[in-house]
Amino acid sequence: MYEDLNGKVVVITGGSTGLGAAMAVRFGKEKAKVVVNYYKNEQEAIEIKEKVEKAGGQAIIVQADVTKEEDVINLVQTAIKEFATLDIMINNAGMENPVPSHELSLEDWRKVMDTNLTGAFLGSREALKHFIENDIQGNIINMSSVHEMIPWPTFVHYAASKGGMKLMTETLALEYAPKKIRVNNIGPGAMNTPINAEKFADPKQRADVESMIPMGYIGKPEEVAAAAVWLASTESSYVTGHTLFVDGGMTKYPSFMAGRG
Ligand code: NAI
């Protein structure tokens, strides 16, 4: 438990499913005030709100499409109106759809970039405005991926969005460090969430992914949530511009494990 998170206001984009939902519930356990953003499925968001409250926190739900500037502004303003301030912004919403790069339409490229990178920029910008205007030593956490460093054929738009997020986070961290505003990434490996549901339902594909993870198992959303509360707490007060990989060692060149090379 991180006592300084008690009463803190946290916005989580894509907070009604997968990693976002696990973070919402964990911040609830820390007695934070959680703004659960959802995209389309209101019922899922209501269920997560109830789980946050049961865990000991407070929660509201807010619909927003992170690709739309006015929606992101409204999301942050609603958080400030309902809970009087904003302390932690978690830009977690994301999507992927594999397509051979030579067949990738401009529309699909833009959709992934707008959701994963531009959405995180808009969330960061709106949070920064509030932090600066109110002299808050706020905290931004962007949900990146191991694919901010590992190339991923047929996911060129996804990899480009997460690679862009790496330098966006590092740049914002540098720019706002004098104000003690911290900006970090979490880089999950393969996690058990809806984004992977189809892939992991196939035992062959699941085993294939597991073989690329030195620790030998697919990560649990709670393991990412544990990293998020640490990054949001004062326990990580000197950490900024960093990507915290939560990946069971996936970024550590698993093909070299047997001492080859
Ligand atoms: P998920 O599919 O459960 O979560 C994605 C969330 O983003 C959903 O709640 C979805 O509704 C929301 N979303 C999509 N487009 C949106 C939009 N335009 N506006 C608002 N919300 C939108 O999957 P998961 O795994 O929880 O993904 C969360 C983040 O973690 C994503 O950024 C993903 O790229 C990242 N990630 C996930 C990994 C995994 O293995 N599950 C690995 C590395 C990164």
pLDDT digits (tens, 9 = 90+) for 82-140: 999 999 999 999 999 999 999 999 999 999 999 999 999 999 999 999 999 999 999 99
State yes or no: is 176 an active-site residue: no
243 lines ligand 1 (CB under 6 A): no
In this predicted structure, what is the pLDDT of residue 16?
Answer: 98
In this predicted structure, what is the pLDDT of residue 5?
Answer: 98
Q: How far is the CA of 261 from the centre of ligand 1 (A)?
A: 36
- Residue 261 confidence (pLDDT) above 80: no
Give the CA dihedral 189, 195, 197, 198, nearest 10 degrees: -110
Measured from the Cα of 18, ligand 1's closest atom is: 26
In this predicted structure, what is the pLDDT of residue 258?
Answer: 85
In this predicted structure, what is the pLDDT of residue 183?
Answer: 99
Q: To 10 degrees, what angle do helices 119-133 and 156-176 make?
A: 10
In this predicted structure, what is the pLDDT of residue 233?
Answer: 98
Average pLDDT over residues 183-196: 97
What are the structural domains of the chain? 3-249 (3.40.50.720)
Could you give the C-alpha distances from 120 to 46, 148, 212, in angstroms and in order?
23, 14, 28
- Residue 236 confidence (pLDDT) above 80: yes
Q: How far is the CA of 126 from the centre of ligand 1 (A)?
A: 20
Query: In this structure, are residues 216 and 125 in contact, taking their beta carbons and an 8 Å threshold?
Result: no
Average pLDDT, the chain: 98
Q: How far is the CA of 91 from the centre of ligand 1 (A)?
A: 10
Q: How far is CA 141 from the centre of its chain?
A: 7
- DSSP-based three-state secondary structure for 58: strand
Tokens 């833009």 appear where?
110
Nearest CA to ligand 1 atom 3: 18
104 lines ligand 1 (CB under 6 A): no
